[in-house]
Amino acid sequence: MVASLQSPDNGYSRERLGAYGLATSGWDLLPVCNPRSQSVAAGESAATSLADDVQPLWNGQQPETLDAWVALGRQVFFGFPLRAEPALASALGAPDRAAAFGVEHTDDGTYPGVLRFQDVDGTTQIGIACALCHSTVRDGQLVVGAARRGFDLGGLLVWHGEVAHQPMDAAMAARLGRWGPGRADITLDRDEDPVAIPDLWGLQEQSALTQGATIRHTGPVALAMRQETQLIETNHQRIRPPRPLAWALALYLYSLSPPARSTVVEGDDVSNGQAIFQATCQRCHDNPVGGGPPVPAALVGTDPALASGAARGTGLYRPPALIDLQHAAPYLHHGAIATLTELLTADRLRPDYQGGVRGPGPVVGHQYGFALSSSERTALEHYLVSR
């Protein structure tokens, strides 16, 4: 744990150092939860009972092969409730509103990441799993590991407060409303630093976890601890998962990759773009998935709120993996830029710039590529979306 924490003085690290793996105190004393849960489909009422024949997520036996561990991790990804979410329960009764907030269903009607589960108090609840934010539906098919760019969690929470006649205070409603689709501030502390929901591809090659490089990725144990502690905190420190499930989830995340392309992009433009990438971008994006080691936030020059925040600040940002970029917008850690063209163009620095997804005004930082000619930028874009 200690070796995996990039900055031991931020709130994230202090909380874990004071609560994790202490045996006689802290989170080890929480009840271990091996939940009973089932997926939820369109048209089902939130009041529907959990079926009597639903078994606990895990049978208690550790898998004996890597494939079996990965299969168990998939069950955790889709079936372990992060927490009960009343806003989703309300959305089930208003399918059009659910769709407007990005609560998607596949062709078979199932809502990935939306669960009906037995809570620790014995009640049946509607909750969320990892898949709600980290899978998406394209042409009716599920793409696992892709960030759900259209999921507007902040808008959903504000709407629920209104329809449940439990409106939140105006400042909090305004803060949640500023997130917009595909972004969330999971700490909700005094620092307002929402981030773009990340894709989960290429994690095994990255030397840091999270956009703010909060965790040194020293191996699968570091990722498993990150998943275990996330499940604990998201569940409001009421339960902890069996540690084999956190290990299984880490191995499943390692197994994820984007869907195969239907066409392969080739040509001189792509070759020229690769050469431009090597000269302009590869000094930071130098690992096999196009990511790289954390870099000082001041060097990147983007909004420093996350990098300097008390909750998870490290002074660093992690270069993201450059995988499936044609579906990865909005770009940068805070999801502030809508297109690759805007990312590489100095026009977004103008005070009257209108292209940012967070409203009018300049989007500063990450000025790499600004010096390129129009044809060079086009070639670089073609290469980036071909990776």
Mean pLDDT per 10-residue interval, the chain, length 387 residues: 94 96 96 96 89 95 97 98 96 94 94 96 96 94 95 96 92 92 84 92 96 96 97 95 98 94 72 95 96 97 94 96 93 93 94 83 95 95 92
pLDDT of residue 188: 67
- Can you give the pLDDT at residue 267? 77
Q: Which two three-digit tokens encode residue 372?
A: 């390129």
- The pLDDT assigned to 263 comes to 58
**pLDDT given at position 170:** 94
CA nearest 339: which of 64, 352, 353? Answer: 353
Q: Give the pLDDT score at 177.
A: 93
Residue 317: name the closest of 198, 149, 176, 144 by CA. Answer: 198
pTM of the model: 0.95
CA–CA gap between residue 153 and residue 184 (Å, rounded): 7
In contact, 33 and 240? CB cutoff 8 Å: yes
Query: Which of 209, 366, 221, 367 has the alpha carbon at shortest distance from 294?
Result: 209
Q: What pLDDT, on a 0 to 100 scale, did the predictor assign at position 116?
A: 97
Q: Are 216 and 3 in contact (CB under 8 A)?
A: yes
pLDDT of residue 265: 65
> CB under 8 Å to 320, separation ≥6 — which residues?
198, 199, 211, 290, 291, 328, 333
> Angle at the Cα of 212 (from 20 to 362), degrees rounded to 5?
150
